[in-house]
Amino acid sequence: MIDRPGLAAFLRRRRAGLSPSDVGLPETSRRRTPGLRREEVAVLAGVSSDFYARLEQARGSDPSESVVAALARALRCTPDEKDHLFRLAGVPVPPRQVARHLDPGLRHLATHLDGLPTCVYNDLGEVLYTNALDDALHGRDELRPGRDSNVYWRWFTCPASRDRVPEADRARLSAAHVSDLRATYSRRAEDAQITGLVDDLAAHSAEFRMLWDRHEVAVRRVDLKEVRHPTVGLVRLRCQVLVTPETGVRMRILLPLEGTDAAEKLELLRVLGTQRFSRRSEDAGHAPQGRARGAHHR
């Protein structure tokens, strides 16, 4: 079913965020409001101005799949935004399966990154793997079953999950989490798991509800991150997220930010973390290693 209010809001937001130069049009006269004019979007998409105006007014006939694709091109939508636009317009988006295990190649790569904090999670936010350094940096004792190990759920429902993030960064990270989850929702809106997660987050968090209504869509692939560790202090990091296109699994790797002492602090944490996990491993009778979902809990 078409979501007329949502579609109208999304079209208006995308149009307002583009300038004529973004779409190859000349910058001519001054504009009373920012963004493209409705007539310009209509021309770029090959539809009538009246038809496009009705879409932004949440009325008129339903757009066809080809028209929605043309609007996505005209509005320069990213792949994630295009999925979201298709869902709002009632056009089926190809479903994707939820990955709950690491494939051998990804596991091999993850286990060779023990010198960098590394976390792997699926597009629902369920953590599949963490290494010892990531656990030491974030104060994580174990991967708990269910939503207790879900990135999005913990951020919006567990205040303690934000303790090591400087307060000035929290609003930005909240917005990034929601836009990331929006991208998953747009791809798999018919999946009860994603709709259930979104509904429950909205019921538990006013902040989530507010951000969700913005209709911002993007998978975060690069960012800067600061972590306040109780032992080594502030660690400034470059966050790199690798996304597998087939499954949507994300590998989040934290690299020391250039020009800071982050590398030395991570090395100290690595030594401290290895010593701690070695003691635990001796008690348990196995060598320290990264933790994959299902291997150390559930």
pLDDT in tens, the chain (298 residues): 899 999 999 999 999 999 888 888 777 666 667 789 999 999 999 999 999 999 999 998 999 999 999 999 999 998 778 889 999 999 887 566 677 777 788 888 988 998 999 999 999 999 999 999 999 999 887 767 678 889 999 999 999 999 999 999 999 999 999 999 998 888 776 788 899 999 999 999 999 999 999 999 888 888 999 999 999 999 999 999 998 876 789 999 999 999 999 999 999 998 886 565 455 445 544 444 566 654 333 3
Q: What are phi and psi of 256, to 5 degrees?
A: -60, 135
Residue 131 CA to residue 163 CA, distance in Å, equals: 20
| Contacts of residue 205, Cβ cutoff 8 Å, sequence gap at least 6 | 156, 157
Residue 51 CA to residue 8 CA, distance in Å, equals: 12
What is the reported pLDDT for 297? Answer: 34
Residue 229 CA to residue 262 CA, distance in Å, equals: 11
DSSP tag of 294: T
Does residue 223 contact residue 176 with C-beta atoms inside 8 Å?
Answer: yes
What is the reported pLDDT for 141? Answer: 78
What is the reported pLDDT for 289? Answer: 52
Residue 257 CA to residue 84 CA, distance in Å, equals: 33
Nearest alpha-carbon partner for 276 in 171, 149, 141: 141
What is the reported pLDDT for 286? Answer: 45
pTM value surpassing 0.75: no
| Structural tokens at position 5 | 């209010």
What is the reported pLDDT for 287? Answer: 42
Does residue 122 contact residue 114 with C-beta atoms inside 8 Å?
Answer: no
User: What b/e string do you get for 238-267 counting C-beta neighbours within 10 Å, with b at 16 or more?
Assistant: bbebebbeebbbbbbbbebbeeeebeebbe
DSSP string, 122-155: -TT-BEEEE-HHHHHHHT-----SGGGGBHHHHH
Nearest alpha-carbon partner for 65 in 53, 76, 73: 73
Residue 36 CA to residue 40 CA, distance in Å, equals: 6
Q: Which segments of the chain does DSSP mark as H helices, in order? A: 4-16, 38-45, 49-56, 65-74, 79-88, 104-111, 132-138, 151-157, 167-187, 192-204, 206-212, 262-284
| Structural tokens at position 28 | 């001519």
What is the reported pLDDT for 276? Answer: 59
What is the reported pLDDT for 117? Answer: 96
Residue 259 CA to residue 252 CA, distance in Å, equals: 21
